[in-house]
């Protein structure tokens, strides 16, 4: 049985944040995503000269997991060096909802806030999807 260890995930998220490609915003983000099988998938933000092509850390982590054939998750930690813990963008909330990532921990250097996906994006699939997988 895999259990959530936020300390490990937060540490991994800070580590991968070092790889962020953010020459335009200079805003560096790291994400560590825990799969049901215990594996951890990492993501950092990857910006582009054409700003709108930017990929957020959360979506890069999801992409890494999906590419490895993993689609079931327990939670994700997202870190940035902000005054208050970072708030994921709407697109990332929708992508986390796609894979039903149930718990989201948002952290800066000194504070952690934990949310359910439902709190971050209420009723994300109501009336649209009826997936059974």
Residue 33's DSSP bridge partners are 41, 76
Residue 35 Cβ vs ligand THU, minimum distance, rounded to whole Å: 20
Q: CB neighbours of 3 closer than 8 A, spacing ≥ 6?
A: none
Task: Say whether residue 120 binds ligand THU (CB under 6 A).
Answer: no
Decide: is 85 part of the binding site for ligand THU (CB under 6 A): no
CA atoms within 13 A on the CB side of 5: 9
Decide if residue 79 touches ligand THU (CB under 6 A). Answer: no
Which of 34, 35, 56, 61 lies at the binding interface for ligand THU (CB under 6 A)?
A: 56
**Please, which residues bridge with residue 30 across strands?**
44, 79
Contact residue for ligand THU among 10, 14, 41, 47 (CB under 6 A): 47
* Closest CA relative to residue 75, chosen from 3, 1, 14: 3
Binding site for ligand THU (CB under 6 A): 22, 25, 27, 29, 45, 47, 54, 56-58, 78, 86, 88-89, 92
């Amino acid at each position: 049985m895999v259990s959530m260890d936020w300390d490990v995930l937060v540490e991994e998220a800070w580590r991968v944040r070092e790889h962020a490609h953010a020459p335009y915003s200079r805003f560096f983000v790291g994400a560590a995503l825990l799969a049901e099988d215990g594996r951890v998938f990492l993501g950092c933000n990857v910006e582009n000269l054409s700003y709108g092509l930017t990929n957020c850390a959360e979506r890069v982590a999801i992409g890494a997991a999906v590419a490895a054939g993993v689609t079931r998750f327990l939670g994700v930690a997202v870190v940035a060096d902000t005054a208050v813990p970072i708030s994921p963008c709407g697109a990332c909330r929708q992508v986390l909802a796609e894979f039903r990532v149930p718990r989201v921990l948002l952290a800066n250097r000194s504070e952690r806030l934990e949310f359910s996906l439902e709190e971050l994006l209420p009723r994300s699939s109501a009336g649209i999807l009826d997936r059974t997988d």
